[in-house]
Amino acid sequence: MSRSSFFLSLVLAVGLSVSTISVPTEASAQAQISISVGTNLNSGRGITCSQGERLIRSRGFRDVRRIDCRGRFFVYHARRGSSRFEISIRQRDGRVVDMRRISRRR
């Protein structure tokens, strides 16, 4: 094998291996934030009414409104997508005790 053909084969082998390695892959976001009854929003610690509002907002809800923060359970209305939800959180440990859809925008 001559020196030039050896060099050409080496360049070809390196070129083929680099082209398969450096092909970029398409990026896609796979973030799924879920909240359901039984979800512990604050690692078992007590929360204030404003902390509950922030925790709900950080789970992907918007237009969060405080409805009742006077007892053992804090009640909020919030929107996710085209639906409105009523979410009840236990003050003692930040656990979601009730979540139900109250309306759907058409």
pTM, to two decimals: 0.65
Residue 59 counted as domain residue: yes
Residue 42 counted as domain residue: no
- How buried is residue 68: exposed, middle or buried, by Cβ count under 10 Å (0-12/13-18/19+)? exposed
Split the chain (106 residues) into runs of 10 and give each run's mean pLDDT: 72 65 59 72 87 93 95 95 94 93 78
Q: What is the DSSP letter of 22?
A: S
Residue 2 counted as domain residue: no
What is the sign of the dihedral through the CA atoms of 57, 60, 64 and 69?
negative
> Can you tell me the distance from the alpha carbon of 41 to that of 97, in angstroms, rounded to the nearest whole number?
11
Q: What is the pLDDT of residues 62-82, one digit of tens each?
A: 999 999 999 999 999 999 999
What domain range includes position 95?
49-104
Residue 92 counted as domain residue: yes
